[in-house]
Structure 1
Amino acid sequence: MPTPRSKSFLSHRPKTSSAVNDGLAPHRAVPVLKKTASQTFSAYTDAKDVGPQLERVSEDRTLVDFDSAHPTVLSSVKQMYHRLSSSSKKRPPPPELGDLAGSAMSKVRRSSHDSEMVDASVGCCLMPQSQTQSGSRLTRRFGSMRNRRQATSGPAGEAARYNPEPPPMPTNYAGPPVIPTDSSRGSAARAAAAAQNERLSLTKQARRDAEVTAKFLSDGDMYTAGDDVTRDNESGVGMTCSSPIEGREYPIETRHDPIQYLPAELSTMILSNLTAATLAQTEVLSKAWRAAASSSYAWRAVFLRRFEPENHVSPTPIMMGGAGVGKKNGSRFDPGQKWKRMYQVRCTLERRWAAGTPNAIYLNGHTDSVYCCQFDEHKIITGSRDRTIRVWNLKTFECLKVIGGPANRPFASDSAPLDIHENTVLNPRSVNGTPAGQKLYSVPTDYHEASILCLQFDSKIMVTGSSDHTCIVWDISGDDYIPKYRLRRHTAGVLDVCLDDKYIISCSKDATINVWDRQTGGHVKELTGHQGPVNAVQLRGNLLVSASGDGIAKLWNLDSGTCIKDFKSQDRGLAAVEFSDDAKYVLAGGNDHVVYKFDTTTGQLLHTSSRHGGLVRSLFLDAHNNRVISGSYDQSIRISHYDSGETFGIYKDWTTSWILSAKSDYRRVVATSQDGRVVILDFGWGVHDVHLLEGR
């Protein structure tokens, strides 16, 4: 009984040959196992002569004619077989040497990553598959000579493990292939090694990417891998490695902060395209980013992009109040303005508009209803039923000038002071009848002897319309308001006027509209078509819109003098009208107690506002700030969104009588009332640095 020996790991290896002991010719083609660089052929001296040949064969994993092997090897194999199998009681004749070597070759498979030393002559030549008991003993005895762990997989069953039946040979088998002798030998082995190296490289690259990411999150710096590593755009995982054997550790390069290296002009241009919130957030990144993001040039671009008014038609319409964009000389802004602080102030004003928290300032002096008003950055001009025109200082709220006839000089009033709103911050007393008041009064060479019903001015002239059926054009370029000429054609009171660089337009209770040349005062044309008093007009380029007591608003072409389109109210007459700066929309209000919004292209009614409690006597559109101001006989001022018509501010009983006129700008609403006062709803009162928004 032979001594038990441990099972050879070779017995568990899967077959690598499909043609063993199947009755084919004795010259068999057997598979030869791949050899790696770590495997040698040093177990037997006889193997030295055949080593190069076997190694060359093993590199291509191909079939080789075993009979062509070196005869010394064949002899050594046969002798070893007899020596190892001598302990068996039954010693069957040795098998064919070719079959013996072929089955041994089919049992051996090497892993490409196996780094242990393997005897080429033994591992490749001693493994019979067709042997029964003696062959198994040979395998077990040979296995005890190997210091290898057993394979983890193999055919089930003892017979299947040691004597597997080879699969049948294909009928169209054409013989063994020819071993290549050119430079392409070993391509399969190299491909397998490259695949393994790629897997190792991916593992190392993933670990290296994780380290780079951790470094980025901890230090806040920007890193990038070397040029030999290609990154996937979405995952960031390295995809390839330049080394064919193992991944090389690449030096990590530091990407410099662009703000520190870009020219200041280029950095400013880039940052100026950010929103205000994003630009403010970049200031906390570093000192360099704070210096760049705080640049006055960047904040100027952000500020003007949001708050600078746009011009849509030519000539540019007259702006009510101020633009709120700082000091400007022509088309150029003054240098050195604090644009970031100006942006903050404008945002504060917007919040106050939304919250509805203005303060009240009253101007006292007129002795009867104040029908009209207009203001710019520095002054307010009002016209009254008391037949006078007053000029007010918008900074100190003092009366600067009173213009009227000699019989219209005001006197001190004995009546009790009028009620004021609880949010009032200023209510200066009138100086009528005092020496200071007497100094303010001015009697020009020409003046109105009836109520001042309407007015409009720009930087050079002012036009006033009166119940005396005429208009007076005043030169206001200096401190003295000098009448230039009077416009006579209407047969009833002039209810409204408007002007631009080319024309002066007047409308009247006589249901007509007259067009005048601004430079000469000559009459250009008359527009007829309304069936009732024309209460309001508004001019945009060569287009004019008018509103009448007949309940229709009309759009006119001044070049041809024809009516283009009609906008009808739902029921009654219209008292006020506004034309958008881009000439796309018409707003109208009147006895229906609502404000209509029409599309000028289609004539379609887009929406109506919520109802007032009385006649809508006044309308003003501040399209730059998306606000519509309406004043009503219900003693209220309402503020609505221009886009939707939704009302978000109602100011009722800030006066003691009807609201006759209400205009606004970025900061305030200026309204006039039948009680003879001017009331200012100031949303900028007490706001620090609000003066930075004022123009020249």
Structure 2
Amino acid sequence: MMHRTKSPLTHRPKTSSAVDGPGPQDIGSSSMKRRASQNFQPQHAQDVRDAGPLESVKEEAMMVNYHHQHPLEHTVTSLKQLCRRFSSSSSSKRPAFSDAGPSKMRKSSHDSNIPEAFEIIPQSTLQPQSHMRNSVFRRIGSIRGGGRRSAASGPAGDVARFNPLPPPIPTNYASPPMIPTDSSRGSAARAAAAAQNERVTQAKRDAEMTARFLADGIGNTCADDVTKDNESGVGMTCSSPIETNAQEKRIDPVQFLPAELSSMILSNLDAEALTKTERLSKAWQAAASSSHVWRVVFLRKFEQEVHVSPTPIMMGGAGIGKLNGSKLLPGQDWKKMYQVRTTINRRWRAGTPMAIYLNGHTDSVYCCQFDENKIITGSRDRTIRVWDMRTFKCLSVIGGPNNLPTPPTQLPLDVHKNMVVNHQTLNGTEEGRSIYHVPTDYHEASILCLQFDSKIMVTGSSDHTCIVWDITQDEYIPKYRLRRHSAGVLDVCLDDKYIISCSKDATINVWDRATGNHLRELTGHRGPVNAVQLRGNLLVSASGDGVAKLWNLDSGLCIKEFPSQDRGLAAVEFSDDAKYVLAGGNDHVIYKFDATTGKLLHTSTRHGGLVRSLFLDAHNGRVISGSYDQSIRVSHYDTGETFGTYENWTTSWILSAKSDYRRVVATSQDGRALILDFGWGVDGADMLMGK
């Protein structure tokens, strides 16, 4: 057996034969106990060879400290060492290189156990991240021949501490190092040089892959690399290669995300952006066309908000689709409904409504209110009329026995060129007499004002009283009469708690809705109180004395005044959020006041006569005004700028004008009611109706 020369290294790791496991003669011997100096190769092999035992121990202690401080660098280095062992032949001789370069190769026989050289990545390239330090790379369980364990003597899985560190080599190999040969070696020397060239080339390739891995981060590694537990310490490398072009991969979120989450995200877009999104692909079109998405987009734009309690009475329809009570029915075409609302709004801006005339009253029509099913009007002829909103025919006439309408004696009144419906009056006909009803109680004077909700209607008259009607069964049954005023009742308003009436006698009376009991009288105006509007416990009023007042119903005190610039006020509106007050009258303008400060914000363009009626549709940003100049105007709520003027669509003064999302209903001194319908003929307009 060949005698092996003793190594000049004082402490050298055991050879591979020792790693394979102890023989029978080694069991229980002290040779199985390995120190830290046996687990790490010196970083500078030539310096350690010349140093004494003390310097060697110090050097190894420094290495241990380095591995604890830089676990990621050591882990990567150890992984590469294991890969080199796996790819090389067990019988080859591997020259080791010191930092001095290829000129200081060592060729002693014991150097065959030192791992082959590979390129060291500069520390500036190795930038460990905090989230990577705890990642455990799987080690190859079998190296150099079937099932031998690595040369770690410490606990399994403690890679950073017990795997040997390969010696450093220079980083600027332009070509493989030259191995000295002579003529006696011949082909064996050339084969050794070729093998060395291949190893160095592979080392460079592996170093480049490692650099890319560190640059991309652990997110691009196979999930299996980091999921093995530390208790067993048994790991396996990822079978799939590291993807270096992960940034080029594109994932369609619509195809990747659940439909519910895609709908939630897309519903945050506006309609214009959502329509553009539908053009991206078939998958995006299907997601962006979802009824769930368009329902959210539609309601966000068109559903009215409630700012005060009790909820104010809504004029007309909401225009948000079919309802079951107060809940929207499922299965509606929300995208189509959005298109319909958009078309109607475009007609408002263009000023292209159609005219519908309601004929039947025989004198001035002072007041009106409507919902999606009916219009109710009150007249100087002492009758109340109920009209069908779909057919525009008169359904019922309510009045005393002495107020039965007579046949008309004058020629039909002129109509506008945009007229689409103009039913002739039924007065004096058999059908007209069949729809006339005399209730148990009725007004014997002009009907000056009215308001209704789903349960009751309140009418005010020149006879100084109000009548409260039960309308729950579409029958108009008088419940009780309110008596307190000493002059004609000019306006009324109500909510779930109160009924408010104002009069020519300059007073405002507050009534309990449930019982009809009188609660409080508000005084302070010096002229007729022409209009009132209720929002929660706040009430705003307008008077012929030229002042609008804000009242607290709990205390009965006036808390703010809004004076006009000249003359009296005939109409007033209170915004749904109770922040603004609008008023109009003899000045021919509309005032907008801040309800909190009382400051005048702006005035509108002047009408040609008294502003007799006002209505505020704050949700759609429109103010409707009717004037003695025979015109109806539509203005911007924010600026007061007029963008629609409809003159001479009637033949006399406009006494009342109200609106909803698609129409204006106005009444005139010529005895007719007029509807300006901006949704007439729009395909799908019926989809917006609540019933």
Length-normalised TM-score, structure 2: 0.67
Match of 2:340 among 331, 334, 345: 345
Kindly provide the amino acid, as one letter, of the partner of residue 372 in structure 1: C
SS in 1 for 2:295: helix
Q: Give the Cα–Cα distance (whole angstroms) in 2 for the partners of residues 609 and 54 of structure 1.
A: 93
Q: Give the Cα–Cα distance (whole angstroms) in 1 for the partners of residues 421 and 267 of structure 2.
A: 40
- CA drift of 1:342 comes to 0.6
With 350-359 and 331-340 compared, the bigger mean Cα shift is at 331-340
Identify the residue that residue 619 of structure 1 maps to in structure 2: 614
Kindly provide the amino acid, as one letter, of the partner of residue 457 in structure 1: F
Alignment map for 1:126-165 (pairs within 5 Å) = none
Query: 1:120/1:307 Cα in 2 relative to 1: closer, same or farther (>3 Å)?
Result: same
Identify the residue that residue 19 of structure 2 maps to in structure 1: none
Identify the residue that residue 676 of structure 1 maps to in structure 2: 671
Match of 1:533 among 516, 528, 531: 528
Q: Give the Cα–Cα distance (whole angstroms) in 2 for the partners of residues 594 and 455 of structure 1.
A: 25
Q: 1:560-618: per-residue Cα shift (whole Å, max 9, x none)?
A: 00100110000110000000001000000000000000011100000000000000000
Identify the residue that residue 424 of structure 1 maps to in structure 2: 419
Identify the residue that residue 109 of structure 2 maps to in structure 1: none
Kindly provide the amino acid, as one letter, of the partner of residue 357 in structure 2: Y
Q: Give the Cα–Cα distance (whole angstroms) in 2 for the partners of residues 258 and 248 of structure 1.
A: 21
Identify the residue that residue 21 of structure 1 maps to in structure 2: none
Identity fraction in percent: 73
Alignment map for 1:624-643 (pairs within 5 Å) = 624-643=619-638
Match of 2:458 among 447, 457, 463: 463
RMSD: 3.3
Kindly provide the amino acid, as one letter, of the partner of residue 490 in structure 1: H
Kindly provide the amino acid, as one letter, of the partner of residue 333 in structure 2: K
- CA drift of 1:296 comes to 1.1
Structure 1, unmatched stretches of 5+, are 1-51, 62-109, 122-188, 210-223, 230-246
Q: Give the Cα–Cα distance (whole angstroms) in 2 for the partners of residues 115 and 637 of structure 1.
A: 94
Task: Check the 8 A contact 2:278/2:286 in 1, yes or no.
Answer: yes
Identify the residue that residue 665 of structure 1 maps to in structure 2: 660
Q: Is 1:284 aligned to residue 279 of structure 2?
A: yes
Query: 1:637/1:249 Cα in 2 relative to 1: closer, same or farther (>3 Å)?
Result: closer
Task: Check the 8 A contact 2:459/2:492 in 1, yes or no.
Answer: yes
Q: Is 1:363 aligned to residue 335 of structure 2?
A: no
Q: Give the Cα–Cα distance (whole angstroms) in 1 for the partners of residues 584 and 636 of structure 2.
A: 15
Identify the residue that residue 607 of structure 1 maps to in structure 2: 602
Alignment map for 1:41-60 (pairs within 5 Å) = 57-58=100-101
Q: 1:158-207: per-residue Cα shift (whole Å, max 9, x none)?
A: xxxxxxxxxxxxxxxxxxxxxxxxxxxxxxx99xx99x969x989xx9xx
Identify the residue that residue 518 of structure 2 maps to in structure 1: 523
Q: Give the Cα–Cα distance (whole angstroms) in 1 for the partners of residues 462 and 249 of structure 2.
A: 80
- CA drift of 1:118 comes to 9.0
SS in 1 for 2:449: strand
Task: Check the 8 A contact 1:389/1:402 in 2, yes or no.
Answer: yes
Identify the residue that residue 473 of structure 1 maps to in structure 2: 468
Alignment map for 1:317-356 (pairs within 5 Å) = 317-356=312-351
Identify the residue that residue 586 of structure 1 maps to in structure 2: 581
Q: Give the Cα–Cα distance (whole angstroms) in 2 for the partners of residues 624 and 55 of structure 1.
A: 82
Task: Check the 8 A contact 1:225/1:253 in 2, yes or no.
Answer: no
SS in 1 for 2:220: coil
Alignment map for 1:216-227 (pairs within 5 Å) = 227=220
Alignment map for 1:35-434 (pairs within 5 Å) = 57-58=100-101, 112=172, 114-115=174-175, 227=220, 254-434=249-429
Kindly provide the amino acid, as one letter, of the partner of residue 348 in structure 1: T
SS in 2 for 1:445: coil
Query: 1:307/1:118 Cα in 2 relative to 1: closer, same or farther (>3 Å)?
Result: same
Task: Check the 8 A contact 1:324/1:666 in 2, yes or no.
Answer: yes
Query: 1:261/1:386 Cα in 2 relative to 1: closer, same or farther (>3 Å)?
Result: same
Query: 1:53/1:663 Cα in 2 relative to 1: closer, same or farther (>3 Å)?
Result: closer
- CA drift of 1:114 comes to 4.9
Q: Is 1:550 aligned to residue 545 of structure 2?
A: yes
Identify the residue that residue 446 of structure 1 maps to in structure 2: 441
Kindly provide the amino acid, as one letter, of the partner of residue 220 in structure 2: D
Query: 1:255/1:409 Cα in 2 relative to 1: closer, same or farther (>3 Å)?
Result: same
Q: Give the Cα–Cα distance (whole angstroms) in 2 for the partners of residues 495 and 537 of structure 1.
A: 9
Q: 1:45-64: per-residue Cα shift (whole Å, max 9, x none)?
A: xxxxxxx9998644699xxx
Q: Give the Cα–Cα distance (whole angstroms) in 1 for the partners of residues 615 and 212 of structure 2.
A: 72
Task: Check the 8 A contact 1:226/1:250 in 2, yes or no.
Answer: no
Query: 1:55/1:111 Cα in 2 relative to 1: closer, same or farther (>3 Å)?
Result: closer
Task: Check the 8 A contact 1:472/1:487 in 2, yes or no.
Answer: yes
- CA drift of 1:115 comes to 4.7
Identify the residue that residue 95 of structure 1 maps to in structure 2: none
Q: 1:65-85: per-residue Cα shift (whole Å, max 9, x none)?
A: xxxxxxxxxxxxxxxxxxxxx
* Count of aligned residue pairs for this structure pair: 499
Query: 1:55/1:517 Cα in 2 relative to 1: closer, same or farther (>3 Å)?
Result: closer
- CA drift of 1:500 comes to 0.4
SS in 1 for 2:521: strand
Kindly provide the amino acid, as one letter, of the partner of residue 262 in structure 2: S
Kindly provide the amino acid, as one letter, of the partner of residue 343 in structure 2: T
Structure 2, unmatched stretches of 5+, are 1-94, 105-169, 182-199, 223-241
Query: 1:494/1:197 Cα in 2 relative to 1: closer, same or farther (>3 Å)?
Result: same
Query: 1:341/1:503 Cα in 2 relative to 1: closer, same or farther (>3 Å)?
Result: same
Query: 1:117/1:672 Cα in 2 relative to 1: closer, same or farther (>3 Å)?
Result: same
SS in 2 for 1:274: coil
Match of 1:504 among 499, 502, 511: 499
Q: Is 1:570 aligned to residue 565 of structure 2?
A: yes
With 252-261 and 552-561 compared, the bigger mean Cα shift is at 252-261
Match of 1:597 among 589, 592, 600: 592
Query: 1:623/1:248 Cα in 2 relative to 1: closer, same or farther (>3 Å)?
Result: closer
Q: Give the Cα–Cα distance (whole angstroms) in 2 for the partners of residues 529 and 60 of structure 1.
A: 112
Query: 1:54/1:370 Cα in 2 relative to 1: closer, same or farther (>3 Å)?
Result: closer
Length-normalised TM-score, structure 1: 0.67
- CA drift of 1:254 comes to 4.9
Q: Is 1:651 aligned to residue 659 of structure 2?
A: no
Identify the residue that residue 10 of structure 2 maps to in structure 1: none
